[in-house]
A and B are shown apart, each in its own frame.
Chain A
Amino acid sequence: MEILAQAEYSQLAGTIVSGLSLGTIYALLAMGFVIIFKATQVVNFAHGALATLGAFITAGVAVELNFPGRFLDLPPLLGWSISVVTALVLSALMGILLERVFLRPMVGEDLFSVAIVTLGMNVILMTIVTDYIGPDPRSMADPWGDASVDLGFVIIAHTEIAQFLVAAALVVLVGVFFRSRTGIAMRATAFDQEAARAQGVNVGAIFAIAWAIGAVLATVGGIFGSVYPRRIGVFPDTAFLVFRAFPAIILGGLDSVKGAVVGGLSVGLAEAAAGSYLNHPLFGTGFSGIVPYLVMMIVLFIRPYGIFGTAEVRRV
């Protein structure tokens, strides 16, 4: 009896850990998406491509370019962190470039037309990624590998610990950013573009910053979605992660950063819980994959604008 209870306890703890680790990835992707949507009114359907391309760039910097490893002999964690930061800078530049080239000309256009442009962007980016990645996944070359710590009642992978720390740090950073001069200007722009311009805010620069932040968050999400225990590297279908982050975005409210975090974590937990507890034959295998959408539907029945969303936000 005692042993059985302990097994159940350990299964619960395991579910929570994997749910949170999945959830933080969703939360990172959702946060980037929401920041882009809030600041620029663009529903970014290319977010999955951003995540994939970002992870791919990371693999390129860390493995192909072997930067900074080819110049310096650093401890693995430090070396890899430098590679990742380099890749994040490149991703940010990529976000800025995409905004400038594809979306700036669409300023003032219908929300829907702009969304279609991002769909086209998605096709272009995914084509680039699949052509270059080919059928084989690219390893992230992260220093943790499949190492894990056994806490007795639950086993946590080193990557998951890193993921929790990084995600928490990024959430705090985003919170701090929104209280800074630029962050306040971004919120002002999100609320009323014309009034923000009347205060001397350069709205174009704000758009660029929003895309840079969105791309960076997507890349971090993409990286953690491509390491142990989830994957052995970037596949082109890393982009599908965002399909499951989408319920998290809708659930939290399309325009709420807080909602993105809460939504991401709850969708992750629900998915993990379904995976480990709903094993009745009636549900079949892979039922956990549709749980995010079920949760989203139930929440939308009760709160059509999401948990933290503003009521008058436009629907797509």
Chain B
Amino acid sequence: MLEVSNLEVVYKDVVLVLRGVSLEAPERSIVALLGANGAGKTTTARAITGLLDVHEGDVTKGSIRFAGRDITRMLPSERVRMGISQVMEGRRIFAEMTVDENLAAGAYINRDRNASRKSYDRVMALFPTLADRRTQVAGYMSGGEQQVLAIARALMQSPKLVILDEPSLGLAPRLVELIAEVIVEINRQGTAVLLIEQNAHMALSIANHGYVMENGKVVMEGVAEKLLADEDVQEFYLGLRAGERKSFREVKHYKRRKRWLS
């Protein structure tokens, strides 16, 4: 459904951030996009949703196709209408507005009241915690609730694809679990998910397919279980390595050994 091919993105005309990224998110799938800080994950998300211009970024090469159409140069609002919704990093809820108003802002593209009402009911059924807090000012809610609200806001657009940018950021382990359950449930109801995460364990445990990014490139991809079992992914993203603790100098040493960079 979503096909990103050979995408190159430059910030402020000089900073090359993505150097030929290709990835795919088929219908009804959960695709994980992993990588360290600055690898280009968020930039990939911005290119897909069309929010690069705010950051003075520009797609210089490659293309993004969604549902059979080239959307590389489309307006963000048109992409939302086509069914791509984004849950931005850091939640970015409208903190001064109530929960209901946040959801109404999410349903902005929906001119039809009945359709809005329907997605509202669906979202409330999906997230009972929000139903209890409909008139609360969103900024006063806990981090987990805010993240749930951010996801709910995106779902108000009845998207075909949701891009979640670091939904587990800054949340306690139990809440990370909750978010993971939410993602699985959304997917079960028929929405494809592109999950951008640093928490590789959580992401790969629920994803079908995974991509690993580094320095603006996809350096590894594969079926989620396979990635989860991969030695390098385990070492660099899951922090698992049988036995000994390492000093930082040794970490550097190991970094040189990464197979995909040779």
Q: Is A184 a contact partner of B97 (Cβ separation < 8 A)? A: yes
Chain B residues, Cβ within 8 Å of A188: 94, 97, 105, 108
> 1/0 contact trace for B66-82 toward A, CB 8 Å?
00000000011100110
Give per-residue flags for B85-100: 1 if the beta carbon is below 8 A from chain A beta carbons, else 0: 1101000111111000
> What's the least CB distance linking B82 to chain A, in Å?
10
Q: Decide if A245 is an interface residue (CB 8 Å cutoff).
A: no
Interface flag for B198 (CB, 8 Å): no
Q: Are B76 and A198 in contact, CB atoms less than 8 angstroms apart?
A: yes
Closest to B53 in A: A108
Please report the C-alpha to C-alpha distance between residue A201 and residue B104 in the assembled complex, in whole angstroms: 12
Q: Using Cβ atoms and an 8 Å threshold, which residues of chain B touch A201?
A: 77, 105, 108
Taking a contact as CB atoms under 8 Å apart, the answer to whether A184 and B104 are in contact is yes
- Option from B77, B94, B97 in Cβ contact (under 8 Å) with A202: B77
In the complex the two chains form, what is the Cα distance from A192 to B95 in whole Å? 9
User: Is A200 located at the chain interface by the 8 A CB criterion?
Assistant: yes
Task: Assign chain B's interface to a size class.
Answer: 20 to 34
Q: Is B242 part of the binding interface, using a Cβ–Cβ cutoff of 8 Å? A: no
A187 and B108 contact, CB distance less than 8 A:
no
For residue A197, CB closer than 8 A to chain B, the reply is: yes
Question: Please, which residues of chain A bring their CB within 8 A of the CB of B92?
Answer: 192, 194-195, 198
Which residues 189-229 of A sit at the B interface, judged by CB distance below 8 A? 191-202
Per DSSP, chain A at the interface is helix
Listed residue (A181, A194, A200, A201) with the most chain B CB atoms within 10 angstroms of its CB: A200
Contact with A along B5-22 (1 / 0, CB 8 A): 000000000000000000
Partner among A108, A196, A202 whose Cβ is within 8 Å of the Cβ of B105: A196
Supposing A198-B51, A198-B88, A199-B157 touch, asked if A191 and B77 sit within 8 A by C-beta, the answer is: no
Distance in angstroms from B31 CB to nearest chain A CB is 19
Inter-chain CB contacts under 8 Å: number: 67
**Which residues of the other chain, A, contact B88 by a CB distance below 8 angstroms?**
194-195, 198
In the complex, A108 Cα to B57 Cα: how many Å?
Answer: 13
Are A195 and B77 in contact (CB-based, < 8 A)? Answer: no
Q: Taking the complex as formed, is B54 at the interface, i.e. its CB lies under 8 A from any CB of chain A?
A: yes
Cα-based distance from A32 to B237 in the complex (angstroms): 53
CB of A200 within 8 A of CB of B54, answer: no
| Contact across chains for B95 and A191 when beta carbons are under 8 A apart | yes
Asked if residues B77 and A197 are in contact (CB atoms below 8 Å), the reply is yes
Partner of A185, one of B76, B86, B108: B108
Residues of A contacting B86 in the complex (Cβ-Cβ under 8 angstroms): 198
Does B210 lie at the interface of the complex (its beta carbon under 8 Å from any beta carbon of A)?
no
Q: Are A194 and B105 in contact (CB under 8 A)?
A: no
Interface residues of A in 92-110 (CB under 8 A from B): 108
B67 to chain A, nearest CB (A): 16
Give Cα distance in the complex from A280 to B94, angstroms. 52
B106 within 8 A of A: yes
Chain A residues within CB distance 8 Å of chain B? 108, 181, 184-185, 187-188, 191-202
For this complex, 23 residue pairs linking A to B, each with C-beta atoms less than 8 Å apart, are A108-B54, A181-B104, A184-B101, A184-B108, A185-B105, A185-B108, A187-B94, A187-B97, A187-B101, A191-B96, A192-B94, A193-B54, A197-B51, A197-B77, A198-B49, A198-B76, A198-B85, A199-B80, A199-B105, A200-B77, A200-B80, A200-B109, A202-B77
